[in-house]
């Protein structure tokens, strides 16, 4: 595997984004606007905002990068650039890692903006260490990208790819502790929730927790990222039946 | 014990069969192509031209028989920088400029920037190098795709309908380019469902319904059918075989 070809792929994806300022604006501004809206709607109960706000910072990168990656990689399949690349000396891992790196960078930029705005303008109580939040946002973005790559193999159209959002993301959103605290879930669901990638993101980003617990949750995310990237690379086929 | 001299074949198919979704797309195809030949792969839409090309590239799983390129099994990793491929629809990044597309593909092939300028000049797109591909005309987009296939001057070129939708002048220029490449030793396979370039090919492979109907020279194609033009010969062959 050549890091050079991975970086070239990352650079190419970033160039594609650069030519699409509207997408970049949406990627950067929508999560910030949503947290702002939440802050405004919970103006009379700052306690609730302080409980939910940080969790959203962990959830957004996962959802957004999942959507962006599934649609872009599906486009590579349908336009034929993926097939073309696989007839050239590019390995599947280089392709998948190039994507992970590109959208990982976007996730970090997105989270830097949304957390800065949250802790200054929106008045989110500041407990955590900023770099901790950035690490979680990076991991959550990578999770979204990795699962997007893996699941895009199952979709035959961009329309189907978008349908994976409710199928893959919404159950996690319900169980990750955003709606009901995980320890108040029925026992069976709690076991499920505890092993979901989004739950790890929400747990890791929660303020006031020990370093050991934080690192444990980050480790769960990293394990999922590696597994999903491996599945993503394995679903790329050089030959079609 | 004698060492066999390397075979002169650039491409060799023997009893090649491809079945997709229970449909027989290619039925026992056998042919050989010498290095430096300019081959016209002709046939009506749906005759199996693209499937044959994709089988040679190794991206189409084959059901039976063998297919080799440059002496190696189709799809072998060592062939990945030795066959230039242009698919039927332009497989390029529409949201990048011409130059950005070529710089990326050249990077994947570990080629220098001068190779990027060379192929952009070869397809006569230098004036548009900084334009986004989606803003180009269909013919220009096809030429971007062709330029990518030309990167690194691979010894074998597989071009799937490269002249479709282009104006006559450009078609003539492209066929001249293909002739020039073949003269310098590149094996060029060009598929088409029109015969405008047939006269320039040294070899014609005519496919119909997944069968190799004719393996001949352009001259023989005319004399065998008694037709005055290639289009007429094409129609007679396809209809006559019905």
Domain-located, residue B93? yes
Q: Flag whether residue A79 sits within 8 Å of chain B, measured between CB atoms.
A: yes
Sign of the torsion formed by the C-alpha atoms of A198, A200, A201 and A202: positive
**Partner-chain contact B58 A16, CB within 8 Å:** no
Higher pLDDT: B110 or A49? It is B110
Secondary structure (3-state) at A23: helix
Least confident of A14-18, B163-167, B238-242: B238-242
ipTM of the complex: 0.88
Number of structural domains chain B divides into = 1
Domain-located, residue B57? no
The domain in which residue A41 lies consists of 3-234
**CA-based nearest distance B87→chain A, Å:** 8
Domain-located, residue B15? no
Domain-located, residue A228? yes
Q: Flag whether residue A83 sits within 8 Å of chain B, measured between CB atoms.
A: yes
Residue of B nearest to A82 (CA): B91
**Partner-chain contact B58 A87, CB within 8 Å:** yes
Say how far residue A185 (Cα) sits from the centre of its chain.
24
For residue range A158-171, list pLDDT tens digits in order. 788 888 888 899 99
**Partner-chain contact B95 A19, CB within 8 Å:** yes
Secondary structure (3-state) at B191: strand
* CB crowding A3-18: b at 16 or more within 10 Å, else e: eebbbbbbbbbebbbe
For residue range B26-59, list pLDDT tens digits in order. 999 999 999 999 999 998 888 999 999 999 999 9
DSSP B12-74: EEEEEEEEETTEEEEEEEEEEEETT-EEEEE--TTSSHHHHHHHHHT-B--SEEEEEETTEET
The domain in which residue B131 lies consists of 89-153
d(C-alpha A118, C-alpha A111), whole Å: 10
Domain-located, residue A10? yes
Domain-located, residue A239? no
pLDDT of residue A152: 83
Cβ neighbours of A165 (radius 10 Å): 15
pLDDT of residue A18: 94
A vs B, Cβ pairs < 8 A, gives 75
Domain-located, residue B108? yes
Q: Give me the residue from A12, A88, A240 closest to B81, CB to CB.
A: A88
């Amino acid at each position: 595997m050549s890091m050079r070809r991975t970086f070239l792929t990352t650079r190419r994806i970033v160039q594609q984004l650069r030519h699409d300022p509207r997408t970049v604006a949406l990627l950067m501004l929508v999560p910030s606007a949503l947290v702002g809206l939440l802050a405004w709607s919970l103006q009379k109960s700052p306690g609730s905002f302080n409980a939910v706000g940080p969790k959203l910072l962990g959830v957004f990168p996962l959802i957004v990068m999942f959507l962006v990656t599934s649609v872009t990689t599906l486009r590579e399949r349908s336009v034929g650039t993926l097939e073309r690349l696989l007839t050239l000396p590019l390995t599947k891992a280089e392709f998948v890692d190039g994507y992970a790196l590109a959208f990982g960078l976007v996730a970090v930029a997105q989270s830097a903006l949304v957390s800065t705005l949250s802790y200054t303008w929106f008045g989110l109580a500041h407990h955590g260490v900023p770099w901790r939040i950035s690490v979680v946002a990076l991991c959550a973005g990578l999770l979204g990208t990795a699962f997007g790559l893996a699941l895009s193999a199952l979709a035959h159209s961009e329309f189907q790819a978008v349908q994976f959002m409710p199928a893959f993301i919404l159950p996690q959103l319900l169980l990750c502790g955003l709606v009901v605290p995980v320890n108040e879930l029925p026992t069976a669901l709690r076991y499920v929730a505890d092993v979901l990638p989004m739950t790890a993101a929400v747990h890791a980003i929660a303020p006031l927790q020990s370093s050991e617990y934080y690192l444990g949750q980050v480790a769960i995310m990293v394990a999922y990222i590696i597994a999903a990237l491996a599945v993503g690379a394995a679903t790329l086929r050089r030959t079609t039946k | 014990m004698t060492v066999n001299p390397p075979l002169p074949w650039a491409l060799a198919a023997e009893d090649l069969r491809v079945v997709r979704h229970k449909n027989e797309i290619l039925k026992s195809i056998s042919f050989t192509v010498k290095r430096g030949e300019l081959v016209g792969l002709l046939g009506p839409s749906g005759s199996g031209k693209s499937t044959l090309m994709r089988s040679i590239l190794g991206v189409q799983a084959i059901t039976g028989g063998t297919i080799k390129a440059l002496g190696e099994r189709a799809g072998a990793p060592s062939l990945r920088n030795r066959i230039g491929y242009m698919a039927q629809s332009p497989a390029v990044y529409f949201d990048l400029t011409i130059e950005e597309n070529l710089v990326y593909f050249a990077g994947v092939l570990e080629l220098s920037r001068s190779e990027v300028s060379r192929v952009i000049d070869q397809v006569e797109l230098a004036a548009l190098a900084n334009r986004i591909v989606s803003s180009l005309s269909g013919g220009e987009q096809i030429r971007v795709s062709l330029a990518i296939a030309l990167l690194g001057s691979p010894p074998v070129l597989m071009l799937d309908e490269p002249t479709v939708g282009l104006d006559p002048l450009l078609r003539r220029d492209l066929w001249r380019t293909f002739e020039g490449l073949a003269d310098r030793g590149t094996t060029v396979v060009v598929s088409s469902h029109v015969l405008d370039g047939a006269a320039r090919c040294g070899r014609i492979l005519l496919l119909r319904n997944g069968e190799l109907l004719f393996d001949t020279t352009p001259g023989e194609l005319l004399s065998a059918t008694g037709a005055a033009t290639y289009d007429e010969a094409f129609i007679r062959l396809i209809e006559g075989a019905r």
